[in-house]
Structure 1
């Protein structure tokens, strides 16, 4: 990538990070548009195509478990569901951080930085979500991870499906109070 294209790509990335930085947890639950604007997975997927330097990540990332067995999921409390999502997001953030520290400077590193930032935003918001039934601590969430992968496209796909699957199911339950 030539220098001018690199500068423009970096400016676009920074500008996209500035919108909706201050989404509050209540907005996240009650406003689907705020959630849609916070979800940067599609933007990252588009930028990954532009950044041909991201063929393989420098280290494995454990993919979050995205499958939902409806009956089992519905038997879990909202606390347990949220704990499972937090555990998946936390593990994903840790693995992306490790891959980022091993990456060479360039658009691949910038993509990993943006992905880590996005995951951390979700971690922050999900941690702050107020659950009406009180904040009692339930059983420890089971760590449900898929196979390790060095494919950033697959990592982005699983992250997106975690957000539009399990997280949206929790939000739908919580949004009944909006």
Structure 2
């Protein structure tokens, strides 16, 4: 998160220096004002960071599921873990192939990613919160890219 803020500050500073106009030129020149407005860039960077956060969280969950699968006895829990692993992999494929204008997902700060666990109930709770919270938030941010059907 701190790295992305530093990057954002550098982007803003570079935009200000690129304008190289007098204050009156800023007032009189609409293009100069538009060149300094980086809100669209920042909004595009935000879904990239959100997607990176979700992808990193899903990768951690898939590793936790694999550890549980290896330690579990065959039967009901094993079947459940297999289904959960498939579901997580489906979300990972969708998110990594999601075409956003800014390229690949940005890696999040480690503080954004949940801690590893070996408790099935914690994994399910985390997965549910990830899907109903962070993923839905990302989808809300990307809703303007949807075409009416």
TM-score (normalizing by structure 2) = 0.61
- After superposition, the C-alpha distances for 1:50-105 in whole angstroms (9 at most, x for unaligned) are xxxxxxxxxxxxxxxxxxxxxxxx89611111011100001110111121012111
Select the structure that is richer in helix.
2
Q: Does 1:101 align with 2:70?
A: yes
Whose Rg is larger?
A: 2
Shift of 1:148: 4.6
1:162/1:137 CA distance change after superposition, 3 Å: closer
1:134/1:103 CA distance change after superposition, 3 Å: same
* Structure 2: runs of 5 or more not aligned: 1-42
Please tell me whether the aligned partners of residues 64 and 117 of structure 2 are also in contact (alpha carbons under 8 angstroms).
Answer: no
Work out the CA distance in 2 between the residues paired with 1:157 and 1:99: 15
Superposed counterparts of 1:11-22, under 5 Å? none
RMSD: 2.2
**119, 135, 158: which is aligned to 2:126?**
158
1:102/1:141 CA distance change after superposition, 3 Å: same
Please tell me whether the aligned partners of residues 44 and 102 of structure 2 are also in contact (alpha carbons under 8 angstroms).
Answer: no
Residue matched to 2:94: 125
Q: Does 1:142 align with 2:130?
A: no
Shift of 1:134: 2.9
* Structure 1: runs of 5 or more not aligned: 1-73
Shift of 1:150: 3.7
Work out the CA distance in 1 between the residues paired with 2:117 and 2:56: 18
Equivalent residues, number: 103
Select the structure that is richer in strand.
1
Residue matched to 2:31: none
